[in-house]
Amino acid sequence: MYICFEGSEGSGKSTQARLLTQYLIEKEYNVLLTKEPGSEHDPVCHKIREVLLHHTGTISNRAELLLFEADRAQHVDEVLLKASRNRYDFAISDRFDASSVAYQIYGRNVVSQEIFDVINNFAKKYFSFDFTFWIDVPPKIGLERGKRLGKSDRFQREDLVFHEKVRKGYKKHFMKLKPKNAWRKIDGTLSIDEVQRIVRGIIKERFM
């Protein structure tokens, strides 16, 4: 099963992905935890992440989109598709292509949905996740959480207006995503334990 966590800065999705992984391992499943950009299971992804998050000069918005897609192509071919062959029961990813819709289409306004779909389908070879959790949190709260954790990267440093557009992008994306039972929105202002309880409930009911 392929499970994805999505959400804006400070939504807590990385914590939730990690807690779900721990829980499934305790239940004796083989679980691969991965992420975009920069899966730790692939050195090329790792290098692309460094540029995307920490390059200090200018990166053109088109180049940025294509770097995320290059990371995605490598991630799909070298990590995600190999996971089932390597007999993992679950592959859990911290972000996938909904992030590009939110950040690049809505946040940066760099590409139309139509052109994005062509580029993105080429990069991901039409791969999709079985289920996606969208952890939604108001940007003001999320950015504060990031600051407290000492996070500072090219996206964390964008202003509130940018992050409001990202949140709107997620909303638009999920509202039209089909099938409707392949994703669920969770309120990211709930406690870590409460969000995890909801996540586990859904996984138990649907996939265990």
The contact set with ligand TYD (CB under 6 A) reads: 9, 14, 35-37, 53, 68, 94-95, 99-100, 103-104, 153, 155
Q: CB 178 → ligand TYD: shortest distance, Å? A: 20
The residue among 41 and 206 lying less far from ligand TYD, judged by its C-beta, is 41
Pairing verdict, β 2-6 and 131-136 = parallel
Distance CA 3, CA 10 (A): 19
Min dist CB 57 to ligand TYD, Å, is: 17
Least Cβ distance, residue 205 to ligand TYD (angstroms): 26
CB of 31 or CB of 65, closer to ligand TYD: 65
**CB of 182 vs ligand TYD, minimal distance in Å:** 18
Per residue, the 3-state secondary structure of 39-103, as one string, reads: CCCCHHHHHHHHHHHHCCCCCCHHHHHHHHHHHHHHHHHHHHHHHHHCCCCEEEEECCHHHHHHH
Q: Residue type at 173? A: H
Closer residue to ligand TYD in complex, CB, 14/189: 14
Please give the single-letter amino acid code of residue 153.
D
Of the pair 25, 149, the CB lying nearest ligand TYD is at 149
Q: Name the minimum Å distance from CB 10 to ligand TYD.
A: 7
The CB-of-118 to ligand TYD minimum distance in angstroms stands at 16
Pull the structure tokens for residue 144.
């504060």
Nearer to ligand TYD, 81 or 119 (CB): 119
Non-local (6+) Cβ contacts of 30 within 8 A are 87, 88, 89, 90
Dist CA 83 CA 8 (whole Å):
26
Considering the complex, state which of residue 10 and residue 207 has its C-beta at the smaller distance from ligand TYD. Answer: 10
First-to-last CA distance in the chain? 10
